[in-house]
């Protein structure tokens, strides 16, 4: 190696450095669906986003299959997840003593 040669560039930055302000970065669609189901339940999800996969015989598997094939529905689910995170953050900040 000569003195003028630059050191090799790193292959990829760590995930946290790549998109530090993206709350969806590193999450799987399955994790998002499971978190929403735990927070709202299938009936609550169907009220917020009226999709057949939430209302008729809902399961994580069938929901994932539908969302992977339907970009507009996936965007709605991701938006609801972000809303849930903001709402949880607001509630935890409001409950904290000042």
Q: Note the pLDDT tens digit of each residue in 26-58.
A: 889 999 999 999 999 999 999 999 999 999 999
**Whole-structure pTM value:** 0.74
Q: Which residue has the higher pLDDT, 25 or 81?
A: 81
Q: Per-residue pLDDT tens for 69-82?
A: 999 999 999 999 99
* Domain locations in the chain as residue ranges: 40-93
Could you tell me the CA-to-CA distances from 23 to 4, 15, 45, 95 in Å, in that order? Answer: 41, 12, 20, 22
**Per-residue pLDDT at 19 exceeds 90:** no
Q: 3.30.43.10, 1.10.645.10, 3.10.20.30, 1.10.720.30: which CATH number matches 40-93?
A: 1.10.720.30
Joined together, the tokens standing for residue 52 give 């057949």
Could you tell me the CA-to-CA distances from 3 to 7, 9, 70 in Å, in that order? Answer: 10, 16, 53
């Amino acid at each position: 190696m000569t003195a003028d040669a630059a050191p090799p560039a790193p292959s990829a930055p760590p995930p946290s450095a790549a998109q530090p302000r993206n709350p969806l970065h590193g999450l799987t669609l399955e994790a998002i669906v499971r978190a929403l189901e735990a927070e709202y339940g299938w009936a609550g999800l169907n009220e917020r986003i009226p999709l057949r996969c939430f209302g008729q015989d809902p399961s994580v598997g069938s929901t994932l299959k539908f969302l992977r094939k339907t970009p507009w529905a996936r965007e709605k689910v991701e938006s609801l997840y972000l809303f849930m995170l903001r709402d949880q953050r607001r509630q935890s900040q409001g409950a904290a003593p000042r």
